[in-house]
């Protein structure tokens, strides 16, 4: 298992999330910057306020996504001997990364699943050791490596 390469793939996915958030922020920024001289209807003002609220929400999400990206970069060289934030777990069917959640994708014929420490599965996951089985949804995996 090459943790750095798998994390690079997760970083690529995280960068897609960041780019989508930036696009959403820009869209809501344009909607909230309506020309007030042409805004006469109270509904226009309400939509403008809603757009500004959404822009601020997406900006907070972007800040969090950038923080997660930094965490991923820092995790590339971190070596873990137990399951905690920054750990990469190889099972017989998947790679599981703990610390950041991104959509599932394939790497080297295995699914890459990433979970945050806030996910309910983390409590079960952190107690596991190499050689033990992990029930994840309807699937069962054998833990092969922890790094």
Domains of the chain, by residue range, sit at: 3-75, 88-146
Beta bridge partners of 111: 94, 106
Question: How many Å apart are CA 8 and CA 17, to the nearest integer?
Answer: 14
Nearest CA to 101 out of 2, 10, 33 is that of: 10
**Tens place of pLDDT per residue across the chain (147 aa):** 789 999 999 999 999 999 999 999 999 998 877 665 565 666 767 788 888 899 999 999 999 999 999 999 999 988 888 999 999 999 999 999 999 988 899 998 999 999 999 998 899 899 999 999 998 888 899 999 999
Answer whether 99's CB lies under 8 Å from 114's CB. yes
43: which 2 tokens? Answer: 């509904």
Question: How many Å apart are CA 75 and CA 4, to the nearest integer?
Answer: 8
């Amino acid at each position: 298992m090459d943790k750095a390469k798998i994390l690079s793939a997760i970083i690529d996915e995280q960068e897609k999330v960041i780019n989508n958030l930036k696009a959403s922020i820009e869209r809501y920024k344009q909607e909230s910057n309506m020309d007030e001289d042409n805004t006469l209807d109270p509904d226009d003002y309400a939509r403008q306020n809603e757009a500004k609220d959404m822009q601020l929400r997406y900006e907070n999400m972007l800040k969090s996504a950038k923080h997660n990206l930094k965490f991923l970069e820092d995790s590339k060289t971190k070596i873990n001997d137990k399951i905690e934030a920054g750990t990469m777990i190889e099972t017989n069917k998947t790679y599981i990364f703990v610390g950041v959640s991104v959509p599932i994708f394939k790497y080297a014929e295995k699914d890459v699943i990433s979970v945050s420490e806030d996910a309910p599965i983390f409590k079960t996951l952190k107690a596991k050791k190499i050689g033990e089985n992990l029930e994840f949804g309807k699937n069962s995996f054998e833990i092969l490596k922890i790094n």
